[in-house]
Each structure stands twice: as structure tokens, then as C-alpha cells.
Structure 1
Amino acid sequence: MRRRTGSAITAAAGLVAVAIVAFANLAQDATVVERQVLVPAATSEAPGAVAPESPAPAAPIRTDTGDALAQLEQLTIAEPFSTKKYVRDYFGQRWADVDRNGCDTRNDILARDLTDITFKPGTHDCVVLSGVLYDRYTEETVQFVRVSQGYQPAQADHVVSLYVGWISGAEGWTPEKREQFANDPLNLQITTANQQKGEFTPSRWMPTSATAACEFSARYVMVLYAYDLTIAAVDAAALRSTLTSCSA
């Protein structure tokens, strides 16, 4: 801004003008800062958009066949037994938010096991709408798209089914421990083979791929060991055979 000589009034006016310009520049800078904070939030709310700050999916649960073999030998061998019939409600709310992170367990596991995820707008990156699944049971890569009604091919499978847990020792647990078991990420895996596997144990169902069978067997033992559940002799033999071949 040019400076002028002249009356005191003119000088004062010039000072006022400088102050106005400086104030305007400060206001403009403040506006820019505010927008930089707001833009990511607005972007994440756009329909079908992926939040730019969303964390990458967690790595699959680490398994070690040698450790699993050692844990298998420490399990109690016993035939399945319960004094009353298994009921799903014994394991508490379906897909509870047991870790209190604001998302239910099913969406937590979807976010862990999928890549290229899109979230439902307005759910704080909680409700998964779509993504790509590398199925650790079948070793296939499939597209996941959330459906509100009807059959969903990719489902959350309990590695050790709730029924098997019930007849292997969970009947004697507290309701809180059963709910924790039903929502434990260690015991959950997104797969298209959930219906095929169902409540079968390792002596009756195993992934067809040798690599997938090794990972599944190790996970199965890890769950039993973590919860001090018993195992039938025939299942212990099947797991021992698989894990031994994995370690060879």
C-alpha cells in the first residue's frame, strides 16, 4: 500500500486501511485452516466414499504350527458332553460390542478381513458396505457386498463353533465368558465356507488346500487352548496329523 504525506486525518485513514487489510488476511487464513480440518470429515460422509484416513485392515492372526502342536498335547481329551441342550442365546447378544469401540463384532471382523473397504456414510467408519475378501478357508478372492435381506455368501464363521464350545466345556461358564467367546476375534473368520463347515469338527471338515488346512488347524487349537476346552480323541488325531504334516 502506498504511503501519502498530508494531513493527520489522511494519515489516520491510511493506518485504518492497513489494519483492515491485515485483519482480512488473518480472517482468510483462519478460514483456510478451518476448511482443512473439515474437508476429511465431509469427504468421509460422501455416499459410497472410503474415508481417506481409514486404517488398513489388520493382518491375519498369526499362527505357528509348532506352537499349536505343543498346545494340542496339553488339551484334555474327552468325549463331548452337556447336561442340557445347546441354545444360541446362551452365548449372549449376537455380534455384541464387547471391546466397546462403538462397532459390533461382525463389522469389526469384516473391517479386519476385507480390503478396499467402503463404509456406510454417517457410521464413523463402522458399518462395512463392500470390500474384497481373500478367503482363508478356500483361498479364493471374492467381492463382498452387504445385503440387507436374503443370503449373504461371505459370513463370519466361528472357527470353533458355539455348539462345539458348549459341549466342550462352555456350559459351565458364566454368561459373560460365553459372550466373550462368541465375539472373540481369534475365533472368527470371514469366509464363504461357513455354511459348508457349520458345526463340524476337524475330523469331519477341513479346508481342502494344505496351506489353508494348516492355518485352520492351528487356529482351532489356539482357541481350544485359550479357553481351556476339551477335545474329542478323533479330532485331536485329525489335528495332530494335519499339524505334523505342516511342520515337516
Structure 2
Amino acid sequence: MTSYKDALEHARELVVKGRAPKTGYRRALYGRSWDDNTSVPLGHNGCRTREDILQRDLVNVTVRPGTGGCVVESGTLLDPYTGDVVYFQRGQGTSALVQIDHVVALADSWVKGAQAWSMDKRRAFANDPRNLLAVSGWVNSQKGTGDTATWLPPNKVYRCEYVARQVEVKRLYSLWVTLAEQRVMMSVLQKCVIPSVAS
């Protein structure tokens, strides 16, 4: 994991531009949801990406027999965005209590560089575990397509980690940021490097 000091420097180095038009954006342009057929970490392991992230981020996981160790039936999440404990039980009406968030939202990537990518690169981005977190469904809906300038996790303890991850994903995929976004990234990370006595 990159240090907060390095993340602050990387945030300073990100290309700053305005948003491109959202024209033409569709989820389908990033491939089939949770596609295992990618070259990113955990790709080509026989399990859909959602199952990989549930297994990585939940504890006390039980897996459905006969699914090759893939399908998560239940588990417990300590939601990084809220600090809440969420019990996951697969089923209609309960599965959505835990969702997989794209830390850098797909729609945000579209207006900051991804329009020019190949389908393979967009599919990789949509399934890259470095850009994915299991979180509470309601907070994932609240975040929507927000970037750092418009949304931060309500759990303030996690904001350093969240912003550092956004910076590193944008750097890894050569996405740009808006000026407002960069300012918030740097403001948050400066407090992580030199914690305020008052905080």
C-alpha cells in the first residue's frame, strides 16, 4: 500500500482537466458485470469478481457447496465507509445489503479519460480489485457516481485510506481529475500526513 505521503505527492502530479461530456456512457461499455475474463489480479480464477471481493472483504464467510469455492452464502462485513457491522446473507431482499463499490466510479472514469480506452481496458478497470470494496448497499447508493470533490465516506477515520486509493487508481489508469477534486484530495491527505491536534 502506498504511504499517505506518497499519495499526496501523486495527487499533486495528477493531470488536471475539466470533465468530458458524459455523452455515450453505458455500463455495457465496461463489459459484462463482474467478468472474470480479465488480466487484473484475481482474474481468470473461475469466480466472478463480486464473489472474489466478498471473500476478500468479509469475515466468517461460508461458501455454497458445489460452486468451486466461489459463491458466498453468508459473512460479516465491517463496512469501511460507515464503520457499521453488516451481516450478509445471500438471497432475494438480503444480498443487496452488501454491494461492491467502484472506488473510482465507472461514470466518473468515463468523463475523465476512459472514453478513449479499449473495451479490454474498461473491462479490466471495472473488475480490478484495487478499485473495488464491499460496502453497505445504502451508502453505495448515496455515493453514486461522486468523485472526491462531491462525496467522502461518512466514516471520517477511513477518509485517508479512501482518498489514497482513489489517487492510486487514477494514477494507475492515467485518469485525470478536476481542480476541485485535486484540492479535496490534497486537503484530506495533508491531514493524514500531519494529523491535526484538533482532529
Same fold (TM over 0.5): yes
Q: Which amino acid aligns with 1:113?
A: D
Q: 5 Å matches for 1:89-108?
A: 89-97=28-36, 98=38, 99-108=43-52
Q: CA deviation at 1:171?
A: 0.3
Counterpart in the other structure of 2:148: 202
Q: 5 Å matches for 1:115-130?
A: 115-130=59-74
Q: 5 Å matches for 1:139-158?
A: 139-148=83-92, 152-158=96-102
CA distance in 2, matches of 1:149, 1:133: 17
Unaligned stretches of 5+ in structure 2? 195-199
SS at structure 1 position matched to 2:96: coil
Q: Which amino acid aligns with 1:111?
A: Q
Q: 5 Å matches for 1:143-222?
A: 143-148=87-92, 152-192=96-136, 193-222=139-168
CA distance in 2, matches of 1:205, 1:101: 33
Counterpart in the other structure of 1:247: 193
SS at structure 2 position matched to 1:189: strand
Deviations 1:153-210 (A, max 9, x none): 1100000000000110000000000000000001000001211111011111101233
Whether the aligned pair in 2 keeps the contact of 1:134 and 1:142 (CA below 8 Å) is yes
Root-mean-square deviation over aligned CA pairs: 1.4
Q: TM-score, normalised by structure 2?
A: 0.90
Q: Which amino acid aligns with 1:138?
A: T
Counterpart in the other structure of 1:74: 13
Q: Tell me which of the two structures has the higher relative contact order, counting C-alpha pairs closer than 8 angstroms and 6 or more residues apart.
A: 2
- Structure index of larger Rg: 1
Deviations 1:130-174 (A, max 9, x none): 101011111122111112457611100000000000110000000
CA distance in 2, matches of 1:141, 1:151: 15
Unaligned stretches of 5+ in structure 1? 1-61
CA distance in 2, matches of 1:171, 1:90: 9
Over 3 Å counting, the alpha-carbon distance change for 1:207 and 1:63 in structure 2 is farther
Q: 5 Å matches for 1:41-56?
A: none
